[in-house]
Structure 1
Amino acid sequence: MASLFNSLILISSLLLASSQGVSSSVQLVKGLSWSFYEKTCPEAESIVREHLKKVFQDDIGQAAGLLRLHFHDCFVQGYDASVLLDGSASEPSEQDAPPNRNLRRTALKIINDLRDLVERSVSGGPEYEVPLGRRDGLASASINEVTENLPSPAQSASQILAALAKKSFDATNVVALSGAHNIRLGHCGAFTDRLYPTPDPAMDKNFARDLKGVCPTTNSTNTRALDIRLPNRFDNRYFVNLVNRQGLFTSDQDLYEDPTTRDIVTSFAKDLELFFQKFVLAMTKMGQLGVLTGTEGEIRAHCSVRNS
């Protein structure tokens, strides 16, 4: 996503005055567009408008605070959202400057809230309830435990199925969870073994050629989205790619090559709602593996540090 601040405040101002005819009377700077989010997030403006209407109904003064924030950003090194940046001892924030010391803190919070709302919309995917009540563990897992319990991108479908079967996950669970790769980035080192010295025959030839452009050598440090069409949209495109033999990792593509999981992949590629349904079930199931409850473990005061 491009910086959302550049559209959030503008949209808030449009709630206060009619915007009819604006697009036909303003010459846009190169790179800007009235329909920038039309394909990547067509609901962005409606999400922002609806949230701001609620904010203004509670306190219309927030509109002035947002417009002032807009002004203070535009006139200082351009409209780049730099006014939102926090400072440090060595590099003070724009908010520390005398003209900005009385900017509404609530306006800053509104921007963060709006960004969260839009970002969640961009990611998409199903909403589901999460069972609550877990407690925190008292010790870290060993490196060996981590390695042994997490599938590798180089593993085959049969290896992953066998490993997760030990945790009572069936083939549908495994394929559904793999769909989370739809919004993942892959490092070249995790899949160049499928490109060099010769491309994996399970890989579409044009896809292999494109990947070589991203990863020209086996030690390239570049990354590539598993779904370059809409990398931030959680949908079933991952499975469509597998059917088209455009899976990035061996662990991905082999789900389509393996007869045990091929039909599941195909069904998810055809039916988004079916995938969402099975994904929710698998996620809920995964979220209940080896949980600590009651008096087990602890509730940490700080996420990264065990209680004293």
Structure 2
Amino acid sequence: MAKTSACSYPSLFLIFSILFTSHFFLGSEAQTKPPVVEGLSFSFYSKTCPKLETVVRNHLKKVLKKDNGQAPGLLRIFFHDCFVQGCDGSVLLDGSPGERDQPANIGIRPEALQTIEDIRALVHKQCGKIVSCADITILASRDAVFLTGGPDYAVPLGRRDGVSFSTVGTQKLPSPINNTTATLKAFADRNFDATDVVALSGAHTFGRAHCGTFFNRLSPLDPNMDKTLAKNLTATCPAQNSTNTANLDIRTPNVFDNKYYLDLMNRQGVFTSDQDLLSDKRTKGLVNAFAVNQTLFFEKFVDAVIKLSQLDVLTGNQGEIRGRCNVVNSDKKSSLLASVVEDVVEFADQF
């Protein structure tokens, strides 16, 4: 019995040390909730579409029961929409090319896009054409998190849909091959701090990755990767152009929880951008904190998501309410053409 007790002390001491260090680390940052931007409200549709959130959640329950993999797909669409030119539904738009055709958006699930459009049709049937595709995307991603084990939270609504997209803007999206310095810089440019970065990275607690996004760690072999994981990933991805995919979280790949951070602590992160969070002193304490405290992770994740969901939003009379999420309304198609021309000019100016 004495031997067992003695062996337990280092583990308890380690956990206490992590909790103490992370408490001090987090306490040093401003602990303010993200404000609601002008034009948005938590009760925006309370009178005009009171059953909105019920319609969204009930439909998503049916979808995820058949295809749980759409949950991370919906969350990815939300992130890739908001980070480029704000939460305006631009990633939903078809284009030749559009945002979805850019390298950073490879792998966005068509089924998840269809789910957003299906919800749009149900909502507009219930309430009329008053709810934007941008707001529906936000709600669908929120419910995708909750219905797979994550936190439930209110989101401010009232966004309008954009009438343009930005292929060049997708270059702002952080890359999975980035080290922490590059990742922090990409997020800092959008006014996110280290806590936001580590919390939002926790979205990799579910979902799958294409071989090309992590093959850089297999050839040559990254010494910071667990050997068993490296062996399994190499078997899955014998070549960089393999069409196979791998789970981002090897412990609970279909559940939204804090196991992703335990993966990192065991050198089992898949992306460079993930695993390097444990190596960098600016983010290591946060990884440790979230690994031992799921409640804390959920709290910081929600704060960061609310902040993200309000980036450069269109409100009031700006933009439009699309009749279909993948195309602008007929009277705004000239604006879409102009945005494509501007993208081409901006791209040419880089050379």
Give me the TM-score of the superposition, normalised by structure 2. Answer: 0.52
From 169, 194, 201, the counterpart of 1:145: 169
Deviations 1:193-233 (A, max 9, x none): 1111x310111122211211211233322101112332110
Closer, same or farther: CA 257–138 of 1 in aligned 2, 3 Å: same
**The residue matched to 1:124 in structure 2 has which SS?**
coil
2:205 corresponds in structure 1 to 182
Instruction: Tell me which amino acid in the other structure corresponds to 1:126.
Output: P
- Trace 1:75-86 onto structure 2 (pairs within 5 A): none
- Matches of 2:271 and 2:183, distance apart in 1: 13
**Counterpart contact for 2:177–2:272, Cα < 8 Å:** yes
Closer, same or farther: CA 204–167 of 1 in aligned 2, 3 Å: same
Between 1:166-175 and 1:228-237, the stretch displaced more is 228-237
Structure number with larger C-alpha Rg = 1
From 267, 273, 277, the counterpart of 1:245: 267
Deviations 1:118-159 (A, max 9, x none): 987761100000101110111111x22112x10111111110
**The residue matched to 1:186 in structure 2 has which SS?**
strand
- Trace 1:208-227 onto structure 2 (pairs within 5 A): 208-227=230-249
1:107 corresponds in structure 2 to none
**The residue matched to 1:176 in structure 2 has which SS?**
helix
From 173, 183, 187, the counterpart of 1:160: 183
**Counterpart contact for 1:179–1:238, Cα < 8 Å:** yes
From 301, 306, 317, the counterpart of 1:279: 301
Deviations 1:27-75 (A, max 9, x none): xxxxxxxxxxxxxxxxxxxxxxxxxxxxxxxxxxxxxxxxxxxxxxxxx
1:79 corresponds in structure 2 to none
Aligned length: 191
1:296 corresponds in structure 2 to 318
2:256 corresponds in structure 1 to 234
**1:129 aligns to 2:154 (yes or no):** yes
Percent identical among aligned pairs is: 52
**Counterpart contact for 1:122–1:232, Cα < 8 Å:** no
- Trace 1:31-110 onto structure 2 (pairs within 5 A): none
- Matches of 2:264 and 2:208, distance apart in 1: 16
Instruction: Tell me which amino acid in the other structure corresponds to 1:243.
Output: M
Deviations 1:77-128 (A, max 9, x none): xxxxxxxxxxxxxxxxxxxxxxxxxxxxxxxxxxxxxxxxx98776110000
Instruction: Tell me which amino acid in the other structure corresponds to 1:297.
Output: G
Q: Which runs of at least 4 in structure 1 moved beyond 4 Å after TM superposition?
A: 118-122
1:61 corresponds in structure 2 to none
**The residue matched to 1:177 in structure 2 has which SS?**
helix
- Matches of 2:257 and 2:271, distance apart in 1: 18
**Counterpart contact for 1:188–1:218, Cα < 8 Å:** yes
From 168, 187, 192, the counterpart of 1:169: 192
- Matches of 1:231 and 1:276, distance apart in 2: 17
**Counterpart contact for 2:211–2:244, Cα < 8 Å:** yes
- Post-superposition offset of 1:163: 1.6
Instruction: Tell me which amino acid in the other structure corresponds to 1:129.
Output: A
**The residue matched to 2:209 in structure 1 has which SS?**
strand
Gaps of 5+ in 2: 1-60, 66-142, 331-351
**Counterpart contact for 1:182–1:226, Cα < 8 Å:** yes
1:55 corresponds in structure 2 to none
Between 1:211-220 and 1:156-165, the stretch displaced more is 211-220
